[in-house]
Structure 1
Amino acid sequence: MKKVFLVLALASRTICAMAQDTTTTTEKVPFDGIDQTWQNGNDRRENPAFQDMKFFTPSIMMDINYTHSFNRPNDNTVVGSTALARNNEVELSALHFGGDFYYKGARARVMTQFGTRSIVVPRNDYSPYRGQYQLANAYRYLSEAYAGYHINKWYGINIDAGLFMSYLGLNSYYQPENWEYQASFTSDNTPWFFNGLRVQIFPTKNLKIEPWIINGWQSYGKFNKMPGFGFNITYMSDNSNLKVLTNDYYGTDAAGIPERKRFHSDNSLLIRYYNKPKSKGISRMAFSLTGDVGFEKGGGVNGFKDSDKNGPAQYFLSGMFYNRVWFNRNRFAWTVGGGVMTNPGRYLVLYPTGQASPLPNPADPTKTEGAFPFSANPGDKFKGWDMSTNFDYMPNQSITFRFELVNRHSNVPYFAGEGGVTSQTGYTTTPLDPDWRPDLVKSETRFILAALFRL
């Protein structure tokens, strides 16, 4: 999500190219000299393999995992995750390849997306059901695809249009950049991508201001007449030990209910409080803290308070905290953390799949996909909390081997239980027994083994 080394490389090359025409000799590179390799949700590589290429910087990433749920669902389906899709199987979660193009200020980035995430992530987007053409199929194999122009002003201004990554929830969409594999509720229930226009403004070396005009909240199309509006502000300290950021959003994201407005504020603090990179013992320590607040109002719901006149409360409150310790010159790392979420109205909850899905059926958009859909009506309560810990082995900057243990809970039946969410046999080809129901339970414990590659 935050390919800062690519931004730096782009800014450096375009500034140099423009300098030949304007006789400017001073390069101003945003975040120059600031170490970002320790940050949660950021590229950890210190010397990217392709950084010296002139017009194009390639990028290749793979995410392969095996996860085991102790609930042992008979259909091997994972419920409530954008990172995982299948239990008890080796899964190609993501394959990305592409890169960055730049020539005399012109810039573009294209990253493809294959694997289970190309199905899992777009599935909660209602916008493809509005109008003709299958937007989900048209875009699902792209994680990023935008083009724009770099202006040599201050420390740089980038104007981009297309499909680009969201910063909400701190975690990167690309798993090699994250401290943990299964994101806490805060990250997993907020957007991974936007489709629209952004402007990245770097008025100083330490500061980025980025406004957006987008189709909607993680949507390929637009839900109503009004687009979504938002911005990101990121600040990093000169000593590389502090990063603070805020993301704020306003839009109409309830399909067919234009009077319902959504506001969301996402805020993170990252602090590196110990750094001895050459130590064979503890080489560095850092933590990240994220807090989100949001609400929907109008169209039958009333923000933070129940109202007889305007409808029930519909809001989002969440937080997550992670602490990470690196060892032996940053070749090993241990992370522990977790978070909490409450979302009355369930408007940001990742809905269960299969026969428990309340989403439209692509074959018949007038009906829900599942025979026994998970309720997501105004006033429905949802609270979740999770804990996780993992151990990473990073023999070099391009590969991470991760073992992670995750425990998640909810106040209502939500996760896949032993009976799964597909059928009594676990197969979609089996006619449903009249007495069968999706087996949703209030908790799950799982372990994850992952190989995360980046070049």
Structure 2
Amino acid sequence: MKKSSFSILYTSFLIGVLSCAYTVSAQQKGEPFEGIDQTWQNGSDRRDSSVFKNMKYFTPSILMDINYNYSFNNPIDNTVVGSTALARHNELQLSALHFGGDLSYGNARARVMTQFGTRSTVVPRNDFSPYRGQYNLANVYRYLSEAYAGYHINKWNGINIDFGMFMSYIGLNSYYQPENWEYQASFTSDNTPWFFVGSRIQIHPNKNWKIEPWIINGWQSYGKFNKMPGLGGNITYMSSNGNWKVLTNDYFGTDAAGIPDRVRFHSDNSVLHRYLNQPQSKGISRMAFSLTGDIGFEKGGGVNGFDNSPNKPAQYFLSVMFYNRTWFAKNKLAWTIGGGWMKNPGRYLVLYPTGQASPLPNPQDPTKREGMFPFSANPGDQFEGWDMSTNIDWMPNQSLTFRLEYINRNASVGYFAGGGGVTSSTGLTTTPVDPNGTWRPDLVKNESKVIFALLFRL
């Protein structure tokens, strides 16, 4: 199907859905996933309700994510490489502060969530789209994690039509850490989108299913990389007894900056199963697992998907991650163990190193790189990563989590920050970097770290 044809069909579909609003009764027909317990799911809100639930037009929400992590590589500049959850080593940091909430009046709806802390810099930095055209979109939008408005149609179990900035489901994990089983996401989640900017339609034909098409600016991008929008969607099924969740997210777009002939396809698929549920038990009260597998590729513009040739190297993405979680003491304690693997020739989804190892454009001069010794990300460059982690959670109530986590991550090439760091010989940005000297960014193949996090949600 031609790109323009898809956009026309999507617009026609949107107009058709909107027209239903005039013929559907104002009486609420049902709620999305009504009566299905989602509090155990990886990537979902573990609260059974909001303390603000009785407010008529506005339901506030406040989230805080405070962490301390210690890398046994002990980088001299205290910088973390290759993570969207962490920014600093051996320091207490405010990773995220979000406040905002949901607004509704009649069938009009909106959600606004602000974003402050290190993630407001760490997450947008890999977005190339602000370099296309004027105005610094990375600064304009970085203090918002969600901001959308739309209309709710009281048909079936609800139809929502939204425009703005909303969360991505690709990679299973939630952008908000209090919803995740693990703190440092595995490669599958950490290297796939956290947000989209565009439009979506959420269709709940009954309480078990959600069908959600998207038309968006691009792959975790504030603007467009080229002229074509990103196209995709989500299909989610939840069993009535709340023990199963199965979903697929699929995406197609042109997301290589300045290379409009290169197309990207990505398919993300997860299954979650709760295989034990006895919430009043003082021993093991609940057990569940999540399994996620991703496959994708880029083709055109000098790369050739899964087919490797001298002039057109293969450029694709394969990954898997698995976690098992066991709850104890009436769900007040939990133990999670798991890990994952990723292979990404061409490194088009790899989170780039920071500092003098960064291959990203320099904000002051996009014709140059941020780093003097950039990590290469050329067609054919190989990258493979694998990780494992385990943690203990103490959850005295549904709004507070204390987490202690150990993680070991590995890569096939030098990638993580070693003892020499990625900034300078002293670790300070004020120290000149001599390209003819002996210092280079210290990128190593593995790292182990301990993370302590305090996660709050109200």
User: Could you tell me the TM-score, scaled by structure 1's length?
Assistant: 0.94
One-letter code aligned to 1:442? K
Query: 1: CA distance between counterparts of 2:376 and 2:32?
Result: 46
Alignment partner, residue 234 of structure 2: 232
Counterpart position of 2:193: 191
Rounded to whole Å, the distance in 1 between the matches of 2:59 and 2:455 is 20
Shift of 1:23: 6.8
Q: Structure 1 residues 422 and 237 mapped into 2: Cα distance closer, same or farther (>3 Å)?
A: same
**Alignment map for 1:43-62 (pairs within 5 Å):** 43-62=45-64
Counterpart among 164, 167, 170 of residue 169 in structure 2: 167
> Matches of 2:352 and 2:225 in 1, distance apart?
19
Q: Distance in 2 between matches of 1:170 and 1:143?
A: 17
1:389 alignment partner in structure 2: 390
Confirm whether residue 88 of structure 1 aligns to residue 99 of structure 2. Answer: no
Which residue does 2:432 correspond to in 1? 431
Task: Confirm whether residue 322 of structure 1 aligns to residue 323 of structure 2.
Answer: yes
Shift of residue 307, structure 1, vs aligned partner = 2.2
2:279–2:286 Cα contact (<8 Å) kept: yes
* Distance apart, 1:308 and its partner CA: 3.8
CA distance in 2, matches of 1:146, 1:225: 23
**Counterpart in the other structure of 2:370:** 369
Superposed, 1:179-258 pairs within 5 Å as 179-258=181-260
1:125 corresponding residue in structure 2: 127
C-alpha distance in 2 between matches for 1:47 and 1:111:
18
Q: Secondary structure at the match of 2:274?
A: strand
Q: Offset at 1:29?
A: 1.6
Between the aligned residues of both structures, percent identity stands at: 77
Asked if structure 1 preserves the Cα contact closer than 8 Å seen for 2:29 and 2:155, the reply is no
Task: State how far apart, in whole Å, the 1-side matches of 2:31 and 2:183 are.
Answer: 31
Between the aligned partners of 1:23 and 1:222, the Cα distance in structure 2 is 38
CA deviation profile, 1:121-150 (whole Å, cap 9, x unmatched): 000000000011000000000000000000
Cα distance in 2, alignment partners of residues 37 and 398 from structure 1: 12
**Partner SS for 2:303:** coil
Q: Which amino acid aligns with 1:94?
A: A
- Equivalent residue number for residue 340 of structure 2: 339
Query: What is the 5 A alignment of 1:1-80?
Result: 27-80=29-82
Cα RMSD after superposing both structures: 1.4
Structure 2 counterpart SS, 1:226: coil
Distance in 1, matches of 2:75 and 2:368, equals 26
- What is the SS of the residue equivalent to 2:308? coil
TM-aligned CA deviation for residue 359 of structure 1: 0.1
Cα distance in 2 for partners of 1:28, 1:192 equals 29
SS of corresponding position for 2:213: strand
CA deviations on 1:204-246 (whole Å, 9 max, x unpaired) are: 1100000000000000000111100000000000010000000
Contact 2:361 2:369 in 1 (8 A): yes
- Map 1:86-125 to 2 at 5 A: 86-125=88-127
Corresponding residue number in structure 2 for 1:153: 155
1:285 maps to what in 2?
Answer: 287
| Bigger shift: residues 23-32 or 408-417 | 23-32
Q: Which runs of 5+ in 2 are unaligned?
A: 1-20
- Quick check: 2:29–2:158 contact (8 Å CA) kept in 1? no
Q: 2:299 maps to what in 1?
A: 297
Letter in 1 for 2:176: Y
Q: Is the 8 A contact 2:357 2:374 kept in 1?
A: yes
Q: Which amino acid aligns with 2:51?
A: A
CA distance in 1, matches of 2:363, 2:32: 45
Q: 1:106 Cα deviation (Å)?
A: 0.4
Secondary structure, aligned partner of 1:77 = coil
- Find the residue that maps to 1:186 and give its secondary structure: helix
Q: Corresponding residue for 2:416?
A: 415
Q: Give the total of aligned pairs.
A: 436
Q: Which residue of 1 aligns with 2:308?
A: 306
The CA deviation at 1:194 is 0.2
Asked whether the 8 Å contact 2:316–2:345 carries over to 1, the reply is yes
Partner of 1:15: none
| Structure 1 position 47, deviation (Å) | 2.7
Distance 1:293 1:47, change over 3 A: same
Distance 1:23 1:340 in 2: 49
**Paired letter, 1:443:** N
Q: Deviations over 1:76-118 (max 9, x none)?
A: 0000000000000000000000000001100000000000000
SS at match of 2:123: helix
Q: Where does residue 448 of structure 1 map in the other structure?
A: 451
Q: Do the aligned partners of 2:29 and 2:156 also contact (CA within 8 Å) in 1? A: no
Deviation at 1:363, TM superposition (A): 1.1
- Partner SS, residue 189 of structure 2: helix
Whether the 8 Å contact between 2:24 and 2:153 is mirrored in structure 1 is no
**Secondary structure, in 3 states, of the residue corresponding to 2:449?**
strand
- Change beyond 3 A, Cα 1:439–1:23: closer
Q: Distance in 1 between matches of 2:41 and 2:411?
A: 29
Task: Tell me which residue corresponds to 1:13.
Answer: none
Instruction: Find the aligned partners of 2:453 and 2:143 in 1 and give their Cα distance.
Output: 22
